[in-house]
Chains A and B, each alone.
Chain A
Amino acid sequence: MSTRSDRELVGLAQAGDASAFGELVRRHQKRLYRVAAHLLRDASGAEDVTQETFVRAFRAIQRFDGRSEPFTWMYRICVNLSLNAIRARKSARATPAEDPRVEAFLVEKRPTLADPAAQAADRALAVALCEGIDALSETLRTTLVLVTIDGLGHAEAGQILGCPEGTVAWRVHEARRKLRAFLAARGYDLATGGDA
């Protein structure tokens, strides 16, 4: 089963094969979770959105017409659900201590376990990065998460967001520019490579 393409699995799911859809879920849930977590800044909320994405996708599987890749189709549902959740919640976003992005950044991207001073500096950088991303508009932040953090191509992101590739490229450029400015104001010079 694992050698089948996404399209083949969708075809089987459309024919009523729930196990084929289960394979799609296993294949993509971790990546969708990451996107949802970056958008929501909330681990448990991201888990809920991830599962809801697959529930909604399966219930709409007959409406998948094959014009896009299945994963971009599911991404779009995931982004919509994440944005809906953000807009619906009334409380403020998670504090840095609760932000799943900060710990992940420290553990997996900057593992400076041996040096407490360096670890503190890395934590400060991670918090500043998260604050800078969160200060972006919903449009820029969503595009930045899809392209720069998740690694989607401009064409794929454009398909998900319903806009031309050029618009995606512009938004990514603008998001990075604003993020750099935000970080520079806090002493991080990421334009030249070193932390101030």
Chain B
Amino acid sequence: MTARRDPLEALLAEWPVRGPDDATWDERAVEAVARAAGAGETPASLLEPPALAAEPGEPGSAEAPRSLADLARATLEAERREQQRPILDLAAIPAARPAPAPAAPAAAGGPPPARVEAEAQPPAPGAAVRGGGGRWRSSTVLAVALAVGAAGIAIGLGPLASRGPASGGPASGGLASVGAAAGGQVAPPAGGTPAPAAVAVGPQGGEPGVVDPLAPVPAAGPRGAAGGGGAPPGGAGARVAAAPPAPASPGGAPTDRPAGPGEDDPPPLPGGRNAEKGGDLPEKPSSGAVQAALGAVMGAARSCVAGHDQASTVTVAFGSDGRVTSVVVSAGPAAGTPAAACIQAALGRARVEPFARATFSVGATVRPP
């Protein structure tokens, strides 16, 4: 039997779409050149890669650690979350078990704010299948081992980080992460073109049991659950966290700049990863750093709302590693539409320097270009 072409491929390949006849195309070409000669600017966002949300499970996405350093980071994050579990969970730990050295006082200090608890993300590989009394020790050993390994890689591959693929992406993102794990210094993505794979935005549709940390309503229902199972996804809009309007920018006219730090951000976590590294990290990113980080990606976000007649309000949450952990489009015409996923992808590329707090949230307004 001879090899045959994939039937689906055969149907899709070079699928034509009938357009105007050749004479009309010629007229259109002349018209285009004439129009092009007129006044007008081309926004830089049109020349940049389109803002497309990373797919769940995509190589390099939040669900798939990109490198050893990312695995270490995920493990440490899981460790931190374990330490923040409510007392009820701590009570289940056998009393005879020695408390983990650096984290015990913090963990015993009382339950963390509910908002921090609600921040839980899908369990990271390596942290999910831990049980019983040995989970703290084993995960700590694993995290330390991975961090040491990551530091070794950073020393060995550090120079490569600045020579990553021109397009940026998982490889360059991974190397940058290694640098961060080793020295606390986040290197910018090589090539200046962050890949969608590097976007660490909020939970995606179909992820079970994920709670939106920023939604002002209790335990937002499953987002985009209709697209679950084996059925095709219901479109990007299904993954958008459309929360009711949030008090993002109290007073003042909306701008493209961040509206300022959220007052209700949780305090620094004594047992957190950054606290263990020493007190040399700022408690939170400076407003200038946040503005610069969001300003760098705001152009792409604005292109997402091209054609809208009103601005949309978003809340961006940064994790202590400086990455965006969630982007919630809370109000405006983009909320609940595919444009929200586009905004998530665009703003999810923002980065600030690592800081001590567990999270840091800012409100921002995305106005049409």
Contact = CB atoms under 8 A, between A and B. Distances in A.
Contacts of B55: 137, 139-140, 170-171, 174
Contacts of B37: 18, 58
Contacts of A94: none
Contacts of B12: 129, 144, 148-149
Contacts of A43: 17-19
A15 interface: no
Given A76-B49, A167-B197, A87 B338 contact: yes
Given A77-B46, A104-B15, A108-B16, A25 B232 contact: no
Contacts of A46: 17, 19
Interface string A59-81: 11001000100000100110111
A138 B205 CA distance: 14
A139 B17 contact: no
A88 B306 contact: yes
B214 interface: no
A50 to B, nearest CB: 8
A20 to B, nearest CB: 10
A142 B231 contact: no
Say what secondary structure dominates the interface of chain A. helix
B19 A185 contact: no
B20 A136 contact: no
B11 interface: yes
Given A138-B53, A138-B235, A51 B18 contact: no
Nearest to B368: A88
Interface in A139-164: 139-140, 142, 144, 148-151, 158-164
A165 to B, nearest CB: 9
B161 to A, nearest CB: 16
B235 A166 contact: no
Interface stretch (A1-9, A28-36, A112-120): A28-36
Given A129-B11, A162-B48, A167-B197, 9 more contacts: A22-B30, A29-B29, A46-B19, A55-B40, A80-B303, A137-B55, A142-B50, A182-B231, A191-B8
5 cross-chain pairs, A with B, having the tightest CB-CB distances, nearest first? A162-B49, A88-B307, A58-B36, A60-B42, A164-B169
